[in-house]
Amino acid sequence: MAALTFAAIDVGSFEVEMGIYEISNRNKIRKLDQIRHVTALGKDTYNNGKISYEMVEELCDLLADFARIMKSYKVTEYRAYATSAMREARNNRIVLDQIRVRTGIQVRIISNSEQRFLGYKAIAVSDDEFDENIQQGTAIVDVGFGSMQISLFDKNLLVTTENLPLGVLRIRGTLQDVNTTVEQYRDLIGEMVDNELEIWRKDKPITAQPVLILI
C-alpha cells in the first residue's frame, strides 16, 4: 500500500495546532511536521460568550496557511476538530461556515465526551503501563485551558468522570479584575479549586492510590 499523508488539526482554546503524518504499512506512522500558533480563542468565548470578528479573521488566515502547508505536503486526508472554546461560543455555526468558505477546511466540533475518549486512547497508546495502572483505582486529571476533567478508573473500567470549570483561561478570566498581590491571587485560585473539588468529592468512590496527571 502506498503511503498516506494525513493531517490532524486541533482548534483549541489557547492554540491552533496541526500535525502532518505519513502512514504506511512499512513505517507505520511517521511525523513529518508540527505547527502551532497561540490564539486568544478561549479568552473570547469564556469572557464574552462568543468569538469576535477579529478572532474569526485570525482563525481564517491561520487555517488558510494550514491549507497551503497541507497542499505542499500533498496531504490526502485530514481531520480538523474544535473543542470547548468553539463548542461554547454562541456564534460557532457562523464561525465554522466562514472557515469552510474561506479556507476549504471543514472543522467539526467534538463533544466533551469525544474529546476525553480520544485523550484516553492517546494515553493508552503512549503509556505502556496504562492498563496496569488502571487496575487499582487510578485518577486521571486532564488540566486544560477551558476546564479540568477528572476520571476515576478501577479494575480496568471507567468508574466515573466529571468536567469541572477549572481551566487555566477560565480561572484567569474570572479573576482578571481582582486587584490583589501575587500571593493573594494564588490563594484565591487555591480556594476556587478546593471548593470545586470538595463538591466533586462528595459521594465519589475515591480509592485511588496512583494519580496520573495529563496537562
Helix or strand or coil: residue 177?
coil
pLDDT at 208 over 50: no
**Residue carrying the nine cell digits 486521571:** 140
CA gap 168, 38 in Å, rounded: 14
CA distances (Å), 126 to each of 28, 123, 135, in order? 15, 5, 17
pLDDT at 7: 96
Q: Tens digit of pLDDT for each residue in 78-130?
A: 999 999 899 999 999 999 999 999 999 999 999 888 887 887 777 777 777 77
Residue 124 near residue 162, CB atoms below 8 Å:
no
**pLDDT recorded at residue 146:** 76
What is d(CA 53, CA 141) in angstroms, rounded to the nearest whole number?
A: 34
pLDDT number for residue 199: 66
pLDDT by residue (tens digit) across 49-66?
999 999 999 999 999 999
Tell me if residue 203 falls in helix, strand or coil: coil
Instruction: State the pLDDT confidence band at 76, using cuts at 50, 70 and 90.
Output: very high
Joined together, the cell numbers standing for residue 8 give: 490532524
**What whole-number distance in Å separates Cα of residue 136 and Cα of residue 15?**
35
